Amino acid sequence: MGPRRPVPTRTADWNGRLRSVNAHEPARHAHERPARLAVGVVGAGRVGPALAAALGLAGHRTVAASGVSDASRQRAAELLPGVPLVEPAEVLARSELVLLTVPDDALPALVSGLAETGAVRPGQLIAHSSGRYGISVLDPALRAGALPLALHPVMTFTGTGVDVQRLAGCVFGVTAPEELRLAAEALVIEMGGEPEWIAEESRPLYHAALALGANHLVTLVAQAQDLLRTAGVAAPDRMLGPLLGAALDNALRSGDAALTGPVARGDAGTVSAHIAELRRHAPAAVPGYLAMARTTADRALEHGLLKPELAEDLLAVLSDGARS
């Protein structure tokens, strides 16, 4: 990656305004804190209003937001009452700190468009909440004199007030120029979060890991619920809740050592029966089952949980299942 463009000199001013924020300080009233920022939100989806509301609890003032859908307007009304909804360029005109909280694929074009139309002001903090991108996506704004930040909350959002509460203790993946590191981390702490520094070149891998763990988990749980309903279970959530809660806790504590079940034990006959039942009742679930079972077997073998003499029959069953 080539050399980064120097960050404008107003960096020192922002760091000075925010550096006194400390994760271990007791909460203070707004009038006792350092100078507050005028905050704008471009993209009133599930994330932006919650982040702005959290900053509001720290004494910052949300002055404008943009959103066109009915759902966006409703979220803004609930989480940012009284904040006017205006065009994105007007949001930037009113704000010192701008939160760009749009879908990942829309972010590059949004940044370029705002910079090309002259909406970005020198010395303005521009922060996005994308997990995929670091600060390079903000280069057009940087060339216009803005101060770039990537602040990604590692949490799923509902678009309701509960999100603001969940930000307490939430880890944020933070990427910023070194000169802005203190300011970026201070903003995260003010939102109740915990900053975790992510290198620019590591953002895609970081985001892939989160998607693998969280998004795919939702799919697996929903699929398991569907199968339990087909098996006649009236309340799959009540059955799965304790099991999945314990499995998640064990996995976070012990990693691969927490593996249990027929694949880790090498029960080839049980796995074969699973595949047959899935083909009968839910054929669309078979590829996912086979892929996860093979990955589980590989990890169980690697960590000495699956005995090699049992792995041969198990892997043969999985290969036959893939060919069927």
pLDDT reported for residue 194? 98
How many Å apart are CA 152 and CA 132, to the nearest integer? Answer: 9
d(CA 135, CA 207): 14
Strand runs labelled E in 103-200: 125-128, 147-153, 171-175, 194-197
Beta-strand pair 171-175/147-153: antiparallel
3-state secondary structure of 42: strand
pLDDT tens over the chain, length 324 residues: 445 566 665 665 666 556 544 433 444 444 445 558 999 999 999 999 999 999 999 999 999 999 888 888 899 999 999 999 999 999 999 999 999 999 999 999 999 999 999 999 999 999 999 999 999 999 999 999 999 999 999 999 999 999 999 999 999 999 999 999 999 999 999 999 999 999 999 999 999 999 999 999 999 999 999 999 999 999 999 999 999 999 999 999 999 999 999 999 999 999 999 999 999 999 999 999 999 999 999 999 999 999 999 999 999 999 998 887
Nearest to 36 by CA among 84, 81, 123, 97: 97
pLDDT at 151: 98
- Angle at which helix 216-230 crosses helix 268-281, to 10 degrees, equals 80
DSSP reduced 3-state for 83:
coil
Q: What is the pTM of this model?
A: 0.85
Backbone dihedral angles phi then psi of residue 147, each to the nearest 5 degrees: -110, 110
Q: Parallel, antiparallel, or unpaired for β 194-197 and 171-175?
A: parallel
DSSP state letters, 235-281: -HHHHHHHHHHHHHHHHHHHGGGG--SHHHHT-HHHHHHHHHHHHHH
What's the angle, vertex CA 85, arms to CA 82 and CA 88, rounded to 5?
A: 140
Burial of 4 (0-12, 13-18, 19+ CB in 10 A): middle
What per-residue confidence (pLDDT) applies to 9? Answer: 53
CA dist 123 to 10, 43, 139, 233, Å? 6, 21, 14, 59
User: Which amino acid, residue 165?
Assistant: Q
